[in-house]
Chains A and B, each alone.
Chain A
């Protein structure tokens, strides 16, 4: 119990961010029309590509001689970039076709 309370105390700002973001995430797409479900999913997919920042930090901190970590980190950055770049480009391609209509 003591530990749990200490954990909450130590990370209180993060916990606030998490709780508020949960509500925000639900509210912000609350009334999305069915037409936009696929692009929205794709856009959200690109946004969670933000995980790449973690990969970059990992990479940038690895000691130059630590090849195993370097290789794993390298792979992580490549995959993260794929997620971000591919995600945004695919979403844009989908939405491009919508735009011509109006």
Chain B
């Protein structure tokens, strides 16, 4: 009875995941969708704890299970509540890594069980169904994919918060391919000849997968991290599904595969927004070096603008478009930015925001950030709409955005971002760029826009600069 009830719970869980994902893709229902999926998850988890039976015996070790659940819940809630909006992408990466590690650990425990079937009664039952491949394959896959996802996510996390720098060595690509093939070969050997194989090889594969995950993400530039995180996210989904395969557990299967498929689609959508292929993101990571070389052509003089001048120009404009970027996020300047928007509006200036799909460190990053500061939805223009508006715009204020407004994407075929759709801000009458310094953006390339005659630079931290602007405009 209990076990049958559990199957019903799993069915409900699977349905809530599907509906949750569906609702998450529409703005009005997104929040409910998230809660619905969370409800299905809780039902599945507690159903498993109390109703799961393994050949008629219920689960035991409850103190351990509840202890672990409590620790995880406390830490998870605290981390999730404390994290700043700017650090959201890192957080997602970190949580994703935890899921990957979880899948890898499951594989390790299961491997320890199947390699010692006779010392642990009950376990060889699984082995005797003549479907050993059905057991070994998901264990190996779960181990490899989970470990890669874990190690990769950790590197992505470190890169986003600036603890880890890009690193690549000569022949790294070839080394990665060899490592990957070796991993597959050893796994194949383990699966096929487990009875006679050396069990230590299993841990060799585990370590190789960790190393592969690290080397796979290390050379990829920070600007591409969202794509990598999204890809690793779908990896973890597949790893979860492998564990689901292992236990013939429908809710893990549907949940994992759904995320695997949706995550892959989301990854390609993100790549498309940057007009690059996934392959190009993963392999083209070495473009970082050539990019700096290509920058030699763009140099010259730029002019600075004082806060007072910037305030006057903006206060007496008819139409101002603000282009937010990562600089805004880092400086936590979204509230001050909103303040500036309201102030200008009082003065009769039309203010909108132009949102590049990959501005910031994650698609939609800017939307999340500005939403936090109560900026109204209809003020946010998508790229296509914004590009039609720039021509009739008096002032474009760029706040810590760089690559997404770099005209090289349209004009310079040698540029690594060539072909990426950009915000065509140079059509506006005046451009004010707020940056901390003349340092190139995340893609590591110079921006010719900054040297154009109608562009002026307003150096400084976005928040400080905006605060001064607000004060200045109030005094006008």
**A-to-B contact residues, CB < 8 Å:** 3, 7, 10-11, 14, 17-18, 21-26, 28-64, 66, 68-70, 72-102
Contact = CB atoms under 8 A, between A and B. Distances in A.
Given A7-B133, A36-B30, A38-B89, A31 B25 contact: yes
B98 to A, nearest CB: 4
Contacts, number: 385
A89 B99 contact: no
Contact of A24 (B49, B68, B261): B261
Given A28-B258, A58-B110, A49 B73 contact: no
Given A37-B363, A40-B25, A47-B258, A25 B265 contact: yes
B247 interface: yes
B192 to A, nearest CB: 10
A31 B266 CA distance: 10
A44 B237 contact: yes
A89 to B, nearest CB: 4
Interface in B11-43: 13, 17-18, 20-22, 24-28, 30-31, 33-35, 37-38, 41
A61 B59 contact: yes
Contacts of B83: 90
B20 A56 contact: no
Interface in B88-115: 88-89, 91-92, 94-96, 98-99, 101-103, 105-106, 108-110, 112-113
10 contacts: A22-B261, A36-B26, A47-B17, A48-B240, A51-B240, A54-B103, A81-B71, A84-B72, A91-B34, A92-B31
A56 B62 CA distance: 10
Nearest to B233: A45
B25 A28 contact: yes
Contacts of A52: 45, 102
B30 A74 contact: no
Interface string B66-95: 011101110111011101010011011011
